[in-house]
Amino acid sequence: MKAYVFPGQGSQFRGMGHDLYQQSESARQLFDQANEVLGYDLTKIMFEGADDDLKQTIYTQPAVFLHGVVVAMTLNGFAPDMVAGHSLGELSALTAAGVLSFADGLRLASIRATAMQRACNLAPSTMAAVLGLSDAIIEQVCEGITDEIVVPANYNCPGQVVISGSVAGIQMAEERLKAAGAKRVVQLAVSGAFHSPFMEPARTEFAEAVAQMPFSEPRCLVYQNVDARPTTDPTRLKANLIAQLTSPVRWTQSVERMVADGATSFTECGPGKVLQGLIKKISPAIPVSNALD
């Protein structure tokens, strides 16, 4: 069974998608349509913009969404048996699977990005990657910090979990995690605490937008971040997509479940090779590649 996966924020790079734009007429039409839908020149930011521009959440998320969906929609033989996306990438996966139209998926990516940026501006918060500790120990440390908000945000692969919370909470967690044996705790250059209670204002705003969008039944199984379980139910797809903003990304569990359900290969659609690296650590026996390779 063929599994296709879509990356999230952090995989972007200046110039991404430019080769596609030049080489494929169908890709060029989608890029141009995206600019019309958004009302600004996103492709110029992607192809020529300053690195700092592309790092802004309001541009990063639509850009990464756009790249992944264009790759899937212009890929010869794109016939997934299952799809999944990491964080923002879940919107790309839903669109590639036919749940959302291209325009609606892009609108939701933009609304999500703007809502999350607003939430980040309300209170100082941050994230950090924890390397070399078990999920259980990280969860115990987070639960033990009761006077600040600190939660697991991304279960990326065995030995790599990202935590999210207040600045003071992350600093407190870093000391305790190192004492518990973490190899490294790396502060991330992000604008706020994604997938944590700090995103509740964004979740509320995003929920209103999702409620207005038509969701169709997907052409294949969709494995969502919130519960790492497959579904084709549009109602459940909506609920999980909304809940994801304040819930952890269960990427390790999602990949493990996809393999258990019969995935024989993984193809990453989108910029970079972040997910390929994670999947190789989660299920090293399963072939993984990038759609553009």
Do 53 and 74 fall into the same domain? yes
Assigned domain for 183 exists:
yes
Helices and strands counted in the chain (H then E): 13, 10
Do 179 and 218 fall into the same domain? no
Do 178 and 205 fall into the same domain? no
Q: What angle do CA 15, 21, 26 make, to 5 degrees?
A: 150
Do 148 and 17 fall into the same domain? no
Separation between Cα atoms, residue 123 and residue 80, nearest integer Å: 40
pLDDT value at residue 293: 81
Do 253 and 235 fall into the same domain? yes
Instruction: For 237-290, write each residue's pLDDT tens digit.
Output: 999 999 999 999 999 999 999 999 999 999 999 998 999 999 999 999 999 999
pLDDT value at residue 55: 84
Catalytically active residues are: 87, 195
Do 139 and 73 fall into the same domain? no
Indicate if the pLDDT at residue 52 is higher than 90. Answer: no
Do 235 and 102 fall into the same domain? yes
Assigned domain for 262 exists:
yes
Assigned domain for 100 exists:
yes
**Which of 164, 187, 210 is the last residue in one of the domains?**
187
Dump the DSSP string for 130-193. EES--HHHHHHHHHH--SS-EEEEEEEETTEEEEEEEHHHHHHHHHHHHHTT-SEEEE---SS-
**Which of 157, 187, 217 is the last residue in one of the domains?**
187
pLDDT value at residue 267: 97
Instruction: For 133-184, write each residue's pLDDT tens digit.
Output: 999 999 999 999 999 999 999 999 999 999 999 999 999 999 999 999 999 9
Cα 178 versus chain centre, distance: 27
Do 157 and 242 fall into the same domain? no
Place of tokens 């038509």: 214
- What is the overall mean pLDDT for the chain? 96
Separation between Cα atoms, residue 57 and residue 121, nearest integer Å: 12
CATH code assigned at 127:
3.30.70.250
- With cut-offs at 50, 70 and 90, classify the pLDDT of residue 189: confident
pLDDT value at residue 11: 87
Do 62 and 174 fall into the same domain? no
Distances (CA, A) of 12 to 59, 208, 248: 10, 27, 21
- With cut-offs at 50, 70 and 90, classify the pLDDT of residue 194: very high
**Which of 187, 208, 230 is the last residue in one of the domains?**
187
Assigned domain for 192 exists:
no
Do 115 and 209 fall into the same domain? yes
Of 1, 58, 64, 282, nearest to 157 (Cα)? Answer: 282
Q: Which range of residues forms the domain containing residue 135?
A: 123-187
Look up residue 18 and give its DSSP letter: H
Do 127 and 114 fall into the same domain? no
Could you give the number of structural domains in the chain? 2
Of 148, 245, 142, nearest to 196 (Cα)? Answer: 245
Do 17 and 88 fall into the same domain? yes
Separation between Cα atoms, residue 211 and residue 235, nearest integer Å: 10
